[in-house]
Amino acid sequence: MSRIGKQIIEIPEKVTVTHKDDTVTAKGPNGERAVNLPEGISLEINDNVITVIRANETKSVKSKHGMIRSMINNAVNGVHEGFKKTLIIEGVGFRAELKGTRLVLSLGFSHPILVIPPDGIEFQTPTQTSVVISGSDKQLVGEVSSKLRKLRPPEPYKGKGVRYEGEVIRRKAGKSASK
């Protein structure tokens, strides 16, 4: 049995989970998330606890068991607390600012980069060199933060660029002087 798939999911207060046909819907303070259940996967909701059950032991059903449990858990956590990632911007003249809900990045190019957030994503700039991406969909938060990082990935000599908070950039030695 899948180690992740057999774990239970606790439903926090202020979150309601409904199961209708092949769709699980979680509603909470941060919105609403829905997860479609594949064939062979079902679930039980008892006393604020969700248990994901698989119908048989075929390889295709076994491979989806843990993934569906994680997706339901992420939906429940997303509507309750939400997810966020922080990006750090390093470099002389590199900065980020908000104009309304849009993010304007100056990353050393000849032009500023305007980023329009997709539905369900919110940008914050606590300082000029950090950007916080938050939302209720874990996959979308990760995807948007990855796209922002790809605009100017950190380089190994000076560490200039956009990196995740806590990410360690392996530095290389520069040119050495010849004698």
How far are the Cα atoms of 36, 67, 91 from residue 54, in angstroms, in the given order?
A: 14, 12, 51
Residue with tokens 């966020």: 84
Distance, CA of 79 to CA of 40 (rounded, Å): 26
> In the prediction, which pLDDT does 2 show?
66
Can you say how many angstroms the Cα of residue 131 is from the centroid of all Cα atoms in its chain?
Answer: 14
| Residue 25: pLDDT band with limits 50, 70, 90 | very high
- pTM given for the model: 0.88
Per-residue pLDDT, averaged over 153-169, amounts to 93
pLDDT of residue 176: 80
Query: For 89-128, how does the pLDDT look when each residue is reduced to its tens digit (9 = 90+)?
Result: 999 999 999 999 999 999 999 999 999 999 999 999 999 9
Q: What is the per-residue pLDDT for 3?
A: 85
